[in-house]
Structure 1
């Protein structure tokens, strides 16, 4: 549907000009390169891509500050390698220092009950040593039987902190617990070391903040480094022999005139050919701007095969519907809309952010409309006489109706998946199998409705659709040609094997009941928090109002969070598992244009 047609193009030129050719192709930015020779192994001490990876780590680190310094834009004062090294060194030292601070705080906390003391060297103590024990209070009486000098230095409501004096460690059977290792460093020394560590940590944080002045130049030069790395990698895949070089790649058919103009300007030979069915070209998706958010949803799970079809538009709308049914509350949709409005401008700073913004807008609008239809506003159901009550057309507590709605949506979703496949496999009988499944699902749902409404005509129609669909699956699941009785029997056996997927189809349709179940759970939980807050308010006059407000805020926040997670996970799951299993076969890989990144900054 929106998978762009590609051409496999080959450019031929002189070996000594390949650097200029590759730079021009990188500026053109429309070719997915195909290596014509294996990539050389990286040297053990110089792993491929290490400078770029290190620079990205450094950029992420210096960008992770709340308030950034004034950006330096003078290239003459910028040393790329030095800034990367300083940023990575700062990150490692900061992490090590934070770990050291945590260790010191734990040691000080553990040593506090024992007090501030220093252990004497053994030559001054006559060979006697101190042995420390943290003994539970209920076992303290066992010390009375200890035939060694001991002293309790501290006691709290749980433990007694006891020091035993002996030349050798007392036998473990004499005391109820193993000894405590306090270490040889005193409490005052640990506290002084903690102060020094905190000062060092402040200096490192200041350095981290100061490094943020290089974000602009590091980003710009990082693009250059990455472009150069991509050029080196591209050059490694160029075929060279007898003074000639060949460069091959995949190109969108619409960009062929641009590449032809480039080849003519460079004096290159250009050959373009259609991809064969055995080849696996990359997949280049393109959707209109209002619907391109579905493209990101699809790519989140897998990239469709080039020879398949693009489900982005269907996933776009079905995800919005599924999320709305799981959220099932107009009030929650309004709250999320306020967050969307708050970050609207920030999300528009990048193309990916704009796509996500458009998707979120449609999802929240659908959620609000569905919340109005089910009459739920933070779990509050409006009065029938009110305007909001008159707009309520669905009742979440009407289990039979909501189950029919969920199963109907699931049936329609899977019928649509099979019909799209049937359109791509036409003419008949090549597409008989997906048509058969579509008819079988429609027939099964019709029979389900006839059982609810007791309609004889619906029953006959459902049986007709179901039997016709299953016969098509039985007769056309196999691709074996019928030559004799044996091949006919084998074809029939393949058809019987195809019919075993009836249970899978049945289970997949029932899986859509989660839309009703999760929506009902969200509504019930909101209602429960409302009732609990009301009961607390009535039971505790005065202070009960504050407690009730806290219950409402905390409860609805939890419910909203659960709704977002459930809507996202299950809304995508029904598309990726149930829908894709019946509508898509094979997985592809994305189109990666060989293009400059410096110009994007």
Structure 2
């Protein structure tokens, strides 16, 4: 399947009718606006029209958005204590949408201003008082921190600062510097200084300082200040207060308690106002953001004296609908032209268009890179391969069940408000079901839990087809699955390895076939043969060898491919590249063997689960009384670790097999994702 085919819409619209057209297109979400700014720099285009500015109402919208954002910040700050909890996170509430119907920016701005006036009428006064209290609290806390160091002084602090004839300052000096400071001040002021020292105080665990009050003549203030700075004097921020340090400290504590009580009352009031108005303000914010997008959309158009030119991309299946929207919104005062893409494929937007059951897997395609406009969309091919590989690598039915439940929570609960959670949840749910299926086939139920704790060997009862760590009823030395080249596939690891290699060959064959078809469609027969065709022939030769048992077929194919690789290298860069080209076959074999990671991760999951079970059983048997409890804890934490780590590893390695081995055969990516001009509505509906 290819991305949706695109058309370009070009519409010339009368000035008076542009706004309703932009509004209707924005609501439909069917187009991606084309920015004409670069095109209008061309002299030929510039002679016909000029770039249009953003809509004038955008300034009012921006101003109102700032006011609304401040209100939301205020409401958020006073509601910090209200937590949604785990239930709220796992099952978020979908906000009820308010139905609005506005036909112009003037109506919207008027409505926003009216609502804001009502909200601010109730909120502004307590918010202003709260800000004043917080500012006063900061001042008092700073004063309190300062005067506590002067608690040993019996001095009215109103005398601090500059007087008519004196200069008095308080601060902290380290014990090592106090003697030197006294000497330097005596010398600098010619004895016109008085230094009163208090008891040493610990400003921190490693720092002890002495509080001092320095008094001198006003004319000596500058030289005293200079000497204090040299000694590392830390001035205490005390000003405009009266009373002794202990009096001020006590008064400050009382006022802080009063402020705390008053602040609590105001916060309760604001919290109530937040509950009353938050939903309404969120509606305003959303409406303004939508208007902002519409105002900025004008800057992507071109303008003449009486008209605007709009260009946009739209999927071909929506062309008729878009034409109807433009003609209806403009009341016929528009000329619409539809054309095929006239841009390089890298610039044509790409919209993936898969069935609903496959669509969430588009997330995996886009994690690598969206396809180019002329490329095939690999999403449909990713889905089955990813699920099969994931199930084989995790391969434990209990882990699969846990993964399915986690996926369902993401998909059905958190997915209600997040498209990313919806997609990931859907993928994990199907991956979990795949893991359950392969877990049942391989007898994986928390590893060998049944054998260790219930004494039941599931592999001898016939309830498991394959034993990843040994023999089973169906595959054993007595009952080999098959023989290949004298090698018996007579145990689980060999069977899974064989399956992995066969699955890898089939996976690569599909990718090579798609790549061959794409290359032929682009008219490059030689490239198609040298890049994909010869590897397809090699795979077919290997299959023929397995069927017939004639090793000459595979041997001849390998020699032929090596020769072709050398010819390809010589064509690209000469003799040296020809010699290096012979190594391409090892790269292809490396791609095939890379699928052996299916076995590696399958063994890792089962092996670690087995280790957890053995350790838990040993602890339960060895430790008296509480051994069972310790064993249960070991089982819970051990299997949780194994589930998370190998679940993540299976996800990553399943993607790697697609991104590196599979995509390397036919897919490049690098397309520009279709970005619809669409009103994002969470709290409103139109």
TM-score normalized by structure 1?
Answer: 0.70
Q: Where do residues 408-423 of structure 1 align in structure 2 (5 Å cutoff)?
A: 408-423=502-517
In terms of mean alpha carbon deviation, does 279-288 or 570-579 score higher?
570-579
- Specify the alignment match of 1:273 in structure 2: 339
- Specify the alignment match of 1:554 in structure 2: 637
Q: Which residue among 422, 426, 441 is the counterpart of 1:358?
A: 426
For residue 282 of structure 1, report the CA deviation from its aligned partner: 0.6
- Specify the alignment match of 1:576 in structure 2: 659
- Specify the alignment match of 2:361 in structure 1: 294
- Specify the alignment match of 1:217 in structure 2: 280
Q: Distance in 2 between matches of 1:425 and 1:369?
A: 37
Gapped regions of structure 1 (runs ≥ 5): 109-115, 133-149, 154-160, 169-180, 479-487
- Specify the alignment match of 1:521 in structure 2: 604
Please state if 1:563 is matched with 2:683: no
Please state if 1:308 is matched with 2:375: yes
For residue 530 of structure 1, report the CA deviation from its aligned partner: 1.1
Please state if 1:285 is matched with 2:379: no
The answer on whether the counterparts of 2:415 and 2:422 sit within 8 Å (CA) in structure 1 is yes
For residue 237 of structure 1, report the CA deviation from its aligned partner: 1.1
Structure 1 residues 344, 241: closer, same or farther in 2, change over 3 A? closer
Q: Distance in 1 between matches of 2:62 and 2:537?
A: 53
In terms of mean alpha carbon deviation, does 501-510 or 551-560 score higher?
501-510
Say which SS state the counterpart of residue 461 (structure 1) adopts: helix
Say which SS state the counterpart of residue 13 (structure 1) adopts: strand
Say which SS state the counterpart of residue 673 (structure 2) adopts: coil
Please state if 1:436 is matched with 2:533: yes
Gapped regions of structure 2 (runs ≥ 5): 39-50, 100-110, 156-170, 177-198, 213-233, 238-244, 451-455, 471-491
Please state if 1:327 is matched with 2:390: no
For residue 359 of structure 1, report the CA deviation from its aligned partner: 2.4
Structure 1 residues 50, 571: closer, same or farther in 2, change over 3 A? farther
- Specify the alignment match of 1:260 in structure 2: 323
Please state if 1:79 is matched with 2:116: yes
The answer on whether the counterparts of 1:297 and 1:316 sit within 8 Å (CA) in structure 2 is no
For residue 281 of structure 1, report the CA deviation from its aligned partner: 0.5
Say which SS state the counterpart of residue 390 (structure 1) adopts: coil
Q: Where do residues 161-560 of structure 1 align in structure 2 (5 Å cutoff)?
A: 211=274, 214=277, 216-265=279-328, 266=330, 267=332, 268-276=334-342, 278-279=344-345, 280-341=347-408, 345-347=412-414, 349=416, 352=419, 354-380=422-448, 383=456, 389-396=462-469, 398-426=492-520, 428-436=525-533, 438-439=535-536, 442=539, 457=549, 459-470=551-562, 473=565, 501-560=584-643
The answer on whether the counterparts of 2:404 and 2:432 sit within 8 Å (CA) in structure 1 is yes
The answer on whether the counterparts of 2:119 and 2:277 sit within 8 Å (CA) in structure 1 is no
1:99-142 CA deviation, whole Å, 9 max, x = no partner? x99xx9xxx9xxxxxxx99774699xxx998869xxxxxxxxxx
Q: Distance in 1 between matches of 2:95 and 2:367?
A: 36
The answer on whether the counterparts of 2:25 and 2:31 sit within 8 Å (CA) in structure 1 is yes
Q: Distance in 2 between matches of 1:119 and 1:542?
A: 60
Q: Distance in 1 between matches of 2:576 and 2:277?
A: 69
1:473-510 CA deviation, whole Å, 9 max, x = no partner? 555689xxxxxxxxx79688877666554454444444
Q: Distance in 1 between matches of 2:413 and 2:624?
A: 45
Say which SS state the counterpart of residue 79 (structure 1) adopts: helix
TM-score normalized by structure 2?
Answer: 0.62
For residue 202 of structure 1, report the CA deviation from its aligned partner: 11
Question: Which one has a bigger Cα radius of gyration?
Answer: 2
The answer on whether the counterparts of 1:432 and 1:476 sit within 8 Å (CA) in structure 2 is no
Q: Where do residues 107-126 of structure 1 align in structure 2 (5 Å cutoff)?
A: 120=152
Structure 1 residues 579, 263: closer, same or farther in 2, change over 3 A? same
For residue 203 of structure 1, report the CA deviation from its aligned partner: 7.7
- Specify the alignment match of 2:160 in structure 1: none
The count of aligned residue pairs is: 529
Q: Distance in 2 between matches of 1:527 and 1:196?
A: 62
For residue 271 of structure 1, report the CA deviation from its aligned partner: 1.9
For residue 369 of structure 1, report the CA deviation from its aligned partner: 0.9
Structure 1 residues 294, 167: closer, same or farther in 2, change over 3 A? closer
Structure 1 residues 32, 277: closer, same or farther in 2, change over 3 A? closer
Measured on the aligned residues, the alpha-carbon RMSD in Å equals 5.3
The answer on whether the counterparts of 2:34 and 2:313 sit within 8 Å (CA) in structure 1 is yes
For residue 525 of structure 1, report the CA deviation from its aligned partner: 1.6
The answer on whether the counterparts of 1:18 and 1:245 sit within 8 Å (CA) in structure 2 is yes
1:188-211 CA deviation, whole Å, 9 max, x = no partner? 999x98998899799869956863
For residue 36 of structure 1, report the CA deviation from its aligned partner: 0.9
For residue 253 of structure 1, report the CA deviation from its aligned partner: 0.8
- Specify the alignment match of 1:142 in structure 2: none
The answer on whether the counterparts of 2:408 and 2:429 sit within 8 Å (CA) in structure 1 is no
For residue 519 of structure 1, report the CA deviation from its aligned partner: 2.6
For residue 424 of structure 1, report the CA deviation from its aligned partner: 1.7
Structure 1 residues 226, 475: closer, same or farther in 2, change over 3 A? farther
Structure 1 residues 50, 468: closer, same or farther in 2, change over 3 A? farther
Structure 1 residues 237, 325: closer, same or farther in 2, change over 3 A? same
